[in-house]
Amino acid sequence: MAFRLVEFDAPLGVLKSFDSFKNLLNEKILETNTCSLNVSYKNFYTYNDFKFYVCDGEGTLNFKDYTKNLNLIDLELITLKEHLFENKTTKNPYQLKLLNEFLRLYDLNISKGCYYLNPPYFKQLEKELILC
């Protein structure tokens, strides 16, 4: 099981973990502004009622940076390629949503200088794009 250090904006707050069915798994009061949490693609957390997820990545995760549980397996490489290389935008709303999420993650990772957020299939898409 992988863990990641998560940073919070206040040193005192209520941290809760939930399963994918919204069943409460654990609840504790944090007295520091960091905590090591499980990387999970099914479960989620709340901190003072703010919902967030924990994904793979480098460095300490700010809990406000990963509020959606992303899996980019459905993002078609052709959608990404056409957007970046040919300035074409897909008309498929689902592909457009995934494209925008990928670009948001990519920009954030560039600004951090590392794979700060690395949800499933992010690196694979990036590698395939480089090979185009």
Summarised one tens digit per residue, pLDDT across range 61-90 is: 999 999 999 999 999 999 999 999 999 999
- What is the pLDDT averaged over residues 96-119? 97
Q: What stretch of H or E contains 13? A: strand 13-18
Q: Dump pLDDT digits (tens) for 24-67.
A: 999 999 999 999 999 999 999 999 999 999 999 999 999 999 99
- Residue in 49, 65, 47, 45 with CA at minimum distance from that of residue 57: 65
Given a cut of 80, whether residue 1 has pLDDT beyond it is: no
Given a cut of 80, whether residue 119 has pLDDT beyond it is: yes
pLDDT-based confidence at residue 129 (cuts at 50, 70, 90): confident
Q: At what angle do helices 122-131 and 77-86 cross, to 10 degrees?
A: 50
As a whole number of angstroms, the distance between CA 77 and CA 99 comes to 10
Sheet harboring 61-62: ordered strands across? 34-38, 3-7, 61-62
**Exposed / middle / buried, residue 93 (Cβ in 10 Å: 0-12, 13-18, 19+):** exposed
Task: Identify the pLDDT of residue 35.
Answer: 96
As a whole number of angstroms, the distance between CA 8 and CA 55 comes to 16
Given a cut of 80, whether residue 120 has pLDDT beyond it is: yes
pTM recorded for the entire structure: 0.90
Given a cut of 80, whether residue 132 has pLDDT beyond it is: no
pLDDT-based confidence at residue 130 (cuts at 50, 70, 90): confident
- Residue in 12, 4, 51 with CA at minimum distance from that of residue 28: 12
Dihedral sign, CA of 63, 68, 72, 75? negative
Terminal-to-terminal C-alpha distance of the chain: 34
